[in-house]
Amino acid sequence: VVGVDGTPNSLAALRRAVYQARKHGAPLNIVYVIPAGASEAAEASGCEMLEMALRHVTPDATGGLADRIVARGEPGEVLVRLSAQASMLVIGARIHSEYGNLLGGDVMPYCLAWASCPVDICADQRAHGGQPAHAAAARGSRRARSDAR
């Protein structure tokens, strides 16, 4: 199970999870969590974001490898619940924390405390400013085009 929210660190987590799933021939659940009261439009947007993130991380179309899940609730609780039978939970670190936690946010400490499987925490060391997946993908596309000239 991998939690993805479109940030560079969640994309690093997705890359790691895809690698591990391929290496071990394991199934992969890619999860985006929205608030319990979110609209159907937010759910559809979450599905689109997961597709975009997967295409960005695995341009070789590894789509069949992963189930995409948009779940409602608190992110930490949802990820722990969905990873109950998993061999690993992979999440991205937060660069900036409004909670004063060096690891960032409240999702990571919750997962570390309550997950029944190992938790792998990833960070994209090249990340700048917490751009969402679509911005990172666009930045990469512009770079590829300018390098080709």
Residue type, 8: P
pLDDT of 148 over the 50 cut: no
Q: What is the DSSP annotation of 23-76? A: HHT--EEEEEEE-TT--HHHHHHHHHHHHHHHHHH-TTT-GGGEEEEEEES-HH
Measuring CA to CA, which residue among 60, 56, 75 is closest to residue 136? 56
First to last CA, the chain: 40
Q: Model confidence at 106, in pLDDT bands (50, 70, 90)?
A: confident
Widest distance between CA atoms in the chain: 50
Q: Nearest 5°: CA angle at 104, between 46 and 119?
A: 75
Q: Residue 108 has which token pair?
A: 């990571």
Measuring CA to CA, which residue among 9, 8, 49 is closest to residue 30? 49
Q: What is the DSSP letter of 100?
A: -
Tell me the average pLDDT of the chain: 80
Q: What is the pLDDT of residue 59?
A: 79
Q: Which residues are 121's β-sheet partners?
A: 91
Q: pLDDT tens digit string along 21-69?
A: 989 999 999 999 999 999 999 999 999 999 999 999 987 755 567 899 9
